């Protein structure tokens, strides 16, 4: 009877020991799985953040390039307007000089005609 009880206790001890060992294996495996899942999530988050940063940077660069292009176009238009304005001023100045010279010339011609007649 005692031997029977002792055998029974040993069986229970072995069963408990196996259960604890299995539980430890499952726990370690669970930790490994959790670590792998967390690492995968971190990698995905980092990739998403990098992609978002790259896209935002690209959008900002495109906007800056568009603004620079608009500024250059405005400068070119202003330069053309200035060239046209300067041309008009030069043409008007030449016309005024021609008219003044012509009038002065007419006065000299008139005086010469008056003096010679």
Distances (CA, A) of 72 to 29, 60, 63, 91, 104: 64, 18, 14, 28, 47
Buried-state track 94-108, b at ≥16 Cβ within 10 A, e below 16: eeeeeeeeeeeeeee
pLDDT score for 116: 76
Tens digit of pLDDT for each residue in 97-108?
Answer: 888 887 777 777
pLDDT score for 35: 85
Residues present in the chain in total: 117
* Rounded percentage of the chain residues whose pLDDT exceeds 90: 46
Average pLDDT of the residues in 77-104: 89
pLDDT score for 102: 78
Tens digit of pLDDT for each residue in 9-30?
Answer: 666 656 555 565 566 666 666 7
């Amino acid at each position: 009877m005692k031997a029977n009880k002792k055998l029974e206790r040993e069986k229970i001890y072995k069963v408990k020991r196996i259960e604890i060992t299995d539980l430890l294996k499952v726990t370690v495996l669970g930790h490994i799985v959790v670590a792998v899942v967390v690492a995968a999530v971190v990698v995905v988050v980092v990739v998403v953040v990098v992609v978002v940063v790259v896209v935002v940077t690209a959008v900002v660069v495109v906007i800056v390039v568009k603004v620079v292009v608009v500024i250059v176009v405005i400068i070119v238009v202003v330069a053309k307007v200035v060239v046209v304005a300067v041309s008009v001023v030069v043409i008007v100045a030449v016309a005024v000089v021609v008219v003044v010279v012509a009038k002065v010339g007419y006065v000299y011609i008139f005086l010469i005609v008056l003096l010679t007649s």
